[in-house]
Amino acid sequence: MSVRDELLQRFLDAASRGDEEALSLMLSQSRELLDQRGEQGWSALMLTARNGHYDAARVLLSNGCDTSVTNRSGQTARDVALFWGHRHIARLLTSSPGHHLRQLLPSTDTEEPDIHFNREILDRMSDRRSDGEWLASRRASPETVFLLFHALSPLVRSGAEREEQIKLCKLRSAAVQELLTSSRTLEVFLGVDKQQQQQDDDDDGMVAWFALSTEDDPTQLLKDKDPSSFFLQEAMPGLLRLSDDDAGVVAQARSVLAWHSRYRFCPTCGGDTKVEEAGYKRTCLRAGCRSLQGVHNTCYPRVDPVVIMLVLHPDGKQCMLGRKKIFPPGMFSCLAGFVEPGETLEAAVRREVQEESGVQVGPVQYLSSQAWPMPSCLMIGCHCVAVTTDIKVDQNEIEEARWFTRQQVMDALVKDKRAVFIMPPRQAIAHYLLKHWIGCNANL
Ligand SMILES: NC(=O)c1ccc[n+]([C@@H]2O[C@H](COP(=O)([O-])OP(=O)(O)OC[C@H]3O[C@@H](n4cnc5c(N)ncnc54)[C@H](O)[C@@H]3O)[C@@H](O)[C@H]2O)c1
Ligand SMILES: [Mg+2]
Ligand SMILES: [Mg+2]
Ligand SMILES: [Mg+2]
Ligand SMILES: [Zn+2]
- pLDDT at site 440: 53
In whole angstroms, what is the distance from residue 248 CA to residue 122 CA? Answer: 9
Residue whose C-alpha is closest to residue 186's, from 287, 127, 273, 251: 273
The pLDDT tens digits of the residues spanning 122-158 come to 999 999 999 999 999 999 999 999 999 999 999 999 8
The pLDDT tens digits of the residues spanning 243-254 come to 999 999 999 999
C-alpha 383 to ligand 1 mean position (Å): 18
Q: Is the pLDDT assigned to residue 444 strictly greater than 50?
A: no
Protein residues placing their CB within 5 Å of the ion ligand 3 = 336-337
Bridge partners (DSSP) of residue 167 are 157
C-alpha 268 to ligand 4 mean position (Å): 25
First to last CA, the chain: 50
The pLDDT tens digits of the residues spanning 90-129 come to 988 886 667 778 888 998 877 888 899 999 999 999 999 9
In whole angstroms, what is the distance from residue 148 CA to residue 187 CA? Answer: 10
C-alpha 222 to ligand 2 mean position (Å): 40
- pLDDT at site 271: 96
Residue nearest to atom 21 of ligand 1 (CA): 337
How much of the chain, in percent, has pLDDT values that exceed 70?
96
Ligand closest to CA 307? 1
Of 173-177, 273-277, 434-438, the one with minimum mean pLDDT is: 173-177
Domains of the chain, first to last: 3-102 (1.25.40.20), 122-263 (3.90.79), 304-439 (3.90.79.10)
- What angle (nearest 5°) sits at the alpha carbon of residue 13, between those of residues 11 and 18? 95
Mean pLDDT, rounded, for 16-45 = 92
Q: Is the four-CA dihedral 94, 98, 100, 106 of positive or negative sign? A: negative
For 261, residues 6+ apart whose C-beta sits below 8 A from its C-beta are 152
Residue 440 and residue 432 in contact, taking contact as beta carbons nearer than 8 Å: no
**Half-sphere CA count of 62, side-chain side, radius 13 A:** 20
Q: How confident is the model at residue 294 (pLDDT cuts 50, 70, 90)?
A: confident
In whole angstroms, what is the distance from residue 281 CA to residue 161 CA? Answer: 39
The pLDDT tens digits of the residues spanning 234-277 come to 999 999 999 999 999 999 999 999 999 999 999 999 999 999 99
Residue nearest to atom 33 of ligand 1 (CA): 338
C-alpha 387 to ligand 3 mean position (Å): 20
Q: Is the pLDDT assigned to residue 422 strictly greater than 80?
A: yes
Ligand closest to CA 377? 1
**Half-sphere CA count of 415, side-chain side, radius 13 A:** 3
pLDDT averaged over every residue in the chain: 92
- What angle (nearest 5°) sits at the alpha carbon of residue 213, between those of residues 207 and 215? 150
Residue whose C-alpha is closest to residue 320's, from 427, 237, 392: 392
The pLDDT tens digits of the residues spanning 352-361 come to 999 999 999 9
Q: Which atom of ligand 1 is nearest to the CA of 324?
A: 16
Residue whose C-alpha is closest to residue 105's, from 400, 362, 300, 297: 362
The preferred substitution site among 297, 306, 397 for testing ligand 1, maximizing ligand atoms within 8 Å of CB, is: 306
- Name the phi and psi angles at 383, rounded to 5: -110, 150
Q: How confident is the model at residue 11 (pLDDT cuts 50, 70, 90)?
A: very high
- pLDDT at site 443: 39
Q: Which atom of ligand 1 is nearest to the CA of 304?
A: 31
Q: How confident is the model at residue 222 (pLDDT cuts 50, 70, 90)?
A: confident
Helices (H), 184-265: 194-199, 218-223, 235-238, 244-262
- Name the phi and psi angles at 89, rounded to 5: -75, -40
Residue 390: C-alpha distances to residues 29, 69, 79, 359 (Å): 10, 25, 33, 6
The pLDDT tens digits of the residues spanning 297-355 come to 889 999 999 999 999 998 889 999 999 999 999 999 999 999 999 999 999 999 999 99
C-alpha 267 to ligand 5 mean position (Å): 7
How much of the chain, in percent, has pLDDT values that exceed 90?
75
- pLDDT at site 143: 94
Residue 405 and residue 332 in contact, taking contact as beta carbons nearer than 8 Å: no
Mean pLDDT, rounded, for 165-187 = 92
- pLDDT at site 225: 66
For 241, residues 6+ apart whose C-beta sits below 8 A from its C-beta are 164, 165, 166
At 145 the three-state DSSP class reads strand
At 333 the three-state DSSP class reads strand
Q: How confident is the model at residue 441 (pLDDT cuts 50, 70, 90)?
A: very low
In whole angstroms, what is the distance from residue 418 CA to residue 416 CA? Answer: 5
In whole angstroms, what is the distance from residue 354 CA to residue 360 CA? Answer: 6
pTM: 0.81
